[in-house]
Amino acid sequence: MRVAIIGAGPSGLVTLKYLLAAEKALGAEPIETRLFESEAGVGGTFLARTYEDAELVSSRQLTCFSDFRCGDDEPDFLSAKRYVEYLNEYCTHFNLWPHMTFSCQVKNTEKRKEGGYTVAYLLKGEQHMWECDAVAVCSGLHVEPSIPKIEGIEKVPLVLHSSKLKTRDQFGTGKTVLVLGGGETGADVSLLAVTSPTKRVVMCHRNGFHIAPKRNPNPQLVFLRRPSPLARPQVPIDVSRASLFDTAYVHPWLRNSNLLWNYYDCYVKSILWTSWGTTDGSDQWIGGKPKGWSTSEIFFNKSGYKLSPYFNAAWKPQRPQSIAERIRSMLIQTPDTIPLTRGREVDLAPWPSRINPDGTVVFQNNGRPEYLRIKDQIIKPDIVVFCTGYTYEFPFLPGEQHNPRSFEGRLVRSIWPRDEPTLGFVGFVRPNLGAIPPLAEFQAQLWVLNLLAPGRVGGGAPLRLEDEGHYKLKVKSNARIRYGVDHESYAYQLAMDMGAAPSFGDIMRIGFSASLPSPFKRKLQNGRDDNANNSNGGYWYKLPLTWALSANFNTKFRLLGPWQWDGALELMSTELWNTVARRQLFFGHFTLSVIPMFVFGPISLIVFLYATLYQFVQRIGLLGQSR
């Protein structure tokens, strides 16, 4: 079989890796695969569209692929430059380089009458053709900056999209900067601007945003405060969620209801108020989402936490405003991990309605406090930066498939069209509080499995449409991003589809058998000997606890199933065990693990018992009717 891959970002690289591994893992025929990349190197967006001081908002523990990890001596959050280096190391380790063609533009993929595709690509000015049986679209998009129309924008001396912003020097000195967009890119660019020798920085938003910290805030009860002898950094927030009774062992009736989302609505608001005294976001006092928004439709802005103190100068109360807040501030303290602002501020404003002929901005009246504060001020920007994302097309796909919206509602697990499983889309989901690369790894695993061994997908039964709604974020009719997913739920669903989600019995069996004496040393597949840090016979308790209390790391689903990896057990009992152990006792294990388990564990048990009884009675009734 021949397979073409378009794009050498994380999604394309991990798809290539699993295609090459399929012969050994799945017993498939040898795969001939070629990856086409328009840039001169690997990395995709991380290579071509990053700016100064760019840092991943997802942790290395979650973002790194399951069987090739960064060292424990590296920071929790990698710079974009370091992540590109990691991807290059990944290619070298798995010998991906011989299968990639760079500085190569795919122009067309045409279906052949006899089956398969013909890929036309441009290389060194010459057009070439390559015939294949399947195509994986892993970026390779025709990407254009999305620049909304604003009347009078031509009156601003310098207008650019965030994709053209690379360094602080581009802001110049003494300039007024208007940043359009309240997402993570808007927050990053605003932070770059306010930490440059600019005169004023104004960030505009359309409908609010929700700031979340990169690390768990770990508020502390004052009367229980004790200095930590380990002085470990706070655990990243994207790996702070336990999976037991949240995604594992959740009955479909409960999973498909709003009960879990309603719980997290209450949990998020309560932990925000407990930590900071506000419910809009982490230390966020202005610009929150409108009333009625739920966590089921929010993309958390983890870049905004470093920016929040620059907003707070104008909006954060200097002292508690109520008796309840006074009691809270006396009993609970949240460690301050945000930088000093040195007197600088970022003004928040609604979206501009127009730019006047003299270059001043008129803002839309959104009825919020930030509008009332800024509506009479004279804002005359020297620079406008659009942080408004991109418009996407697939110019190399035929007909209506140019438009990604043509695939809405047609993709199985957001990966392949129901009527065309040989065409895969990997990496085209956006998690609410997670990372795209690990989800791309799950997608690549499932697509390759369905392509080469479809009988092993879903236990041989078709994947059910009713198993998709629970992981998709709710989308408003005017939403720009329509492919949001809950990271944990989506990861677990794909693992279930592959038969790679271990049960509690599997975990106990694997853990106890691994604890038996063995003369053989275990090594991780990436070549590092981790015996010095292994669990020394502690697999029997470390593995079950890591499985139950950790987030849905990809490595958890390499213990068994079609992509089983011998290094998964060791990794779960070392790196991932250490990540779970870093959590604070009360505002970590208790609030994020114990409480949800005590709430949803019994509920799931009751639902399982009721469903079993209901199905039994239904069968008895049907049996009686047949007689």
Taking only the tens place, the pLDDT of each residue in 47-93 is 888 888 889 999 999 999 999 999 989 999 999 999 999 999 999 99
Which pLDDT belongs to residue 355? 97
Asked if residue 478 has pLDDT above 80, the reply is no
Give the span between the Cα atoms of 611 and 327, in whole angstroms.
45
Which pLDDT belongs to residue 469? 92
Asked if residue 229 has pLDDT above 50, the reply is no
The proportion of the chain whose per-residue pLDDT surpasses 70, expressed as a percent, equals 93
Asked if residue 257 has pLDDT above 50, the reply is yes
User: What sign for the dihedral angle of Cα 269, 272, 273, 279?
Assistant: negative
Which pLDDT belongs to residue 587? 75
CB atoms near residue 239 (< 10 Å): 23
Which whole number is the average pLDDT over 269-274? 90
Give the span between the Cα atoms of 441 and 431, in whole angstroms.
14
Give the span between the Cα atoms of 427 and 141, in whole angstroms.
12
Question: What is the per-residue pLDDT across 94-128, written as a single tens digit (0 to 9) for each?
Answer: 999 999 999 999 999 999 999 999 999 999 999 99
Which pLDDT belongs to residue 624? 66
Higher pLDDT, 600 or 137: 137
Q: Which of 566, 415, 548 is nearest to 493 (CA)?
A: 415
Residue-averaged pLDDT of the chain: 90
**What is the pLDDT confidence band of residue 226, given thresholds at 50, 70 and 90?**
low
What tokens appear for 500 in the block?
């790679």
Q: Could you give all domains of the chain from N- to C-terminal order, each with its CATH number? A: 2-144+391-428 (3.50.50.60), 504-581 (no CATH)
CB atoms near residue 76 (< 10 Å): 21
User: What sign for the dihedral angle of Cα 105, 110, 111, 117?
Assistant: negative
**What is the pLDDT confidence band of residue 586, given thresholds at 50, 70 and 90?**
confident
Which pLDDT belongs to residue 622? 66
**What is the pLDDT confidence band of residue 604, given thresholds at 50, 70 and 90?**
confident
Question: What is the per-residue pLDDT across 497-546, written as a single tens digit (0 to 9) for each?
Answer: 999 999 999 999 999 888 877 554 444 444 444 433 444 568 999 999 99
Which pLDDT belongs to residue 618? 81
CB atoms near residue 612 (< 10 Å): 11
Give the span between the Cα atoms of 604 and 562, in whole angstroms.
28
Q: Which of 553, 485, 574 is nearest to 238 (CA)?
A: 553
Asked if residue 296 has pLDDT above 80, the reply is yes
Asked if residue 289 has pLDDT above 80, the reply is yes
**What is the pLDDT confidence band of residue 230, given thresholds at 50, 70 and 90?**
very low
Which pLDDT belongs to residue 529? 40
Which whole number is the average pLDDT over 432-447? 96
What tokens appear for 586 in the block?
């009360």
The proportion of the chain whose per-residue pLDDT surpasses 90, expressed as a percent, equals 69
Which of 279-283, 317-321, 607-611 is the least confident region?
Answer: 317-321
Which pLDDT belongs to residue 399? 86
Yes or no: say if 253 and 247 are a contact pair by the CB < 8 Å rule. Answer: no
Q: pTM (2 decimals)? A: 0.92
Yes or no: say if 431 and 480 are a contact pair by the CB < 8 Å rule. Answer: no
Residue 353 to residues 204, 206, 463, 514, Cα–Cα distance (Å): 11, 11, 47, 64
